[in-house]
Amino acid sequence: MNQPRIPRKRTYLLCPPEYFTVEYAINPWMDTATPVDRELAVKQWHGLRETLLGLGHTVHELGPEPGLPDMVYAANGAFVVDGTVYGARFRHPQRTAEAAAHRAFYESHGWRFVAPAETNEGEGDFTYLPAAHGGLILAGYGFRTEPAAHAEAQEVLGRPVVSLRLVDPRFYHLDTALAPLDDGNIAYFPEAFSVAAQRVLAQLFPDAVRADEVDAFGFGLNLVSDGRHVVLNAEASGMAAKVAAAGYLPVPVELSELKKGGGSVKCCVAELRD
């Protein structure tokens, strides 16, 4: 019998897709020949924002900037734990300038910001589970974030970091293949990870919800959960059924346009942990 799932109010950062388009391809999901309906993208983004607000969470907005079409994927700009912000340093030059916009936001709001020396893409490749093994950071590498950034984040944030190697370029960020469902447990797609990383995850999270290929390719793991309500891509109906069976309440949202850039719910949402 599942334990009752208790939601915890969160604080999030989102960036409107005012300039969103797919004008370059830096992951396997991006196709410059596929047009983006920006009006629909904006409408869908507002639906995500209203969903988070309706669940009682606080939402801050980062102002979009022309020439930075991927700023809508706000999770990639930093990683925040206990009021300390470990900044991003993007792999691809098309996104480099986003890091400064995120830094300006955090510093103007009084956060303690630490500039990185190592290449990393924020919550794209880092996540934090405060109730798992005394407080644990999971960190992905293989495509965007360098393993050296994991050691740097551990020093900056003072939390143990578990490095997990991603092996399928379609799951180029950790947040496309793994997500916290609450403060102590996760959902993940095992085949996105190396065999060794799969063993580590199985040992650390024996009660994890395991996604299948259909779930993962539908961006069903690119989700945001408050411990009870799991906000996820409407396309991922199989994943919704799995989290419901585990005692969580799925909240589907439509983000078909933003998926064209290789992201869904989590990519659009940075969590601010003070």
> Which residues are designated catalytic?
173, 267
DSSP letters of 147-162? HHHHHHHHHHH-S-EE
- CA–CA separation, 46 vs 48, rounded Å? 5
What is the total residue count of the chain? Answer: 274
Beta bridge partners of 251: 231
Half-sphere exposure of 132 (CA within 13 A, CB side): 24
Residues with Cβ < 8 Å from 269, sequence gap 6 or more?
A: 12, 13, 14, 48, 52, 74, 75, 224
- Lookup result for tokens 């993940």: 188
Residue 168 in contact with residue 194, Cβ under 8 Å? no
Q: Which residue has the tokens 């959960």?
A: 225
Query: Where in 6-94 does DSSP place strands (E)?
Result: 11-14, 58-61, 78-81, 84-87
C-alpha distances out from residue 59 to 49, 79, 178, 233, 234, Å: 7, 16, 23, 19, 21
